[in-house]
Structure 1
Amino acid sequence: MTGMRLLPEGDTEVEMAKVMVAEQYDSIRYLLRTVLTSVGHEVVVEVNNGPDVLSTFHSTLPDIVSLDLRLPSMDGFELMKHIKSTSPNTRIIAYSSGIHAVDVEMAISCGASVAFDKPFDLDDYLKHFQ
């Protein structure tokens, strides 16, 4: 992680992270970028499909990947395996609409720190970036 930031409500410090937002929908990418940057994280790249995750990951080297498991053109589980095989310390926050318990288990086994259903509460989402 790249730096420290004081939270406005107190003296608790959180590490700022370089984040890749991998989400197929423009409006959700915009929302996630806005929320993440508002709390001090740096969104280093936004992508809307699996091949773009792979083509930009190594040049941006994010600390955290916010990953929609159902990106076009590539399976999210395979993307996680690739990310973790080349960069084991990268944290992956995985989500998808209509996610089931088996998907959560598979996401964790492929390297996600957490996996949850979309839509999600933004405050809960942000907790995974601390």
Structure 2
Amino acid sequence: MARVLIVDDATFMRMMVKDILEKNGYEVIGEANNGIKAVEIYKAENPDIVTMDITMPEMDGIEAVKQIKAFDPSAKIVMCSAMGQQSMVMDAIKAGAKDFIVKPFQADRVLEAIKKVLG
């Protein structure tokens, strides 16, 4: 069972992703509401995959991706973006993210991205 870290500054969005994943057999090992916490939890828990919001307070998702990839080059990260954030998504992919999903989340797309990135 894959262990997932969910990162989003919106509690509602984290709950949505957690619900989709847990109903489909994934274990959510942690949640973070900003990039700083995401990096801390990643280092402590070493999840199999991370869903990472882009726009967050204190440290955004792109910087968090860079720090996680610096710590663990094999980290698997799926970005979560709102419509109209294409340039930021590209920055995240360049920083090492493997795929992205667009809000509002559709369960099948979330699962497809997670499965693809986990290989």
- 1:100 Cα deviation from its structure 2 partner: 3.4
Name the one with the larger helix percent. Answer: 2
- 1:36 Cα deviation from its structure 2 partner: 0.5
Decide whether the 8 Å contact of 2:35 with 2:58 is kept in 1.
Answer: yes
Partner in structure 2 of residue 94 of structure 1: 79
RMSD (Å) for aligned C-alpha atoms: 1.4
Bigger-Rg structure (1/2): 1
* Equivalent runs, 1:31-110 vs 2, <5 Å: 31-110=16-95
Comparing both chains, which one has the higher relative contact order based on Cα–Cα distances under 8 Å and sequence gaps of 6 or more? 2
Decide whether the 8 Å contact of 1:66 with 1:92 is kept in 2.
Answer: yes
Partner in structure 1 of residue 105 of structure 2: 120
The percent of aligned pairs where both chains have the same amino acid is 33
Decide whether the 8 Å contact of 1:99 with 1:116 is kept in 2.
Answer: no
User: Normalised by the size of structure 2, how large is the TM-score?
Assistant: 0.88
User: Normalised by the size of structure 1, how large is the TM-score?
Assistant: 0.81
Which ranges of structure 1 fall in alignment gaps of 5 or more residues? 1-15
Name the one with the larger strand percent. Answer: 1
- 1:102 Cα deviation from its structure 2 partner: 2.0
Which ranges of structure 2 fall in alignment gaps of 5 or more residues? none
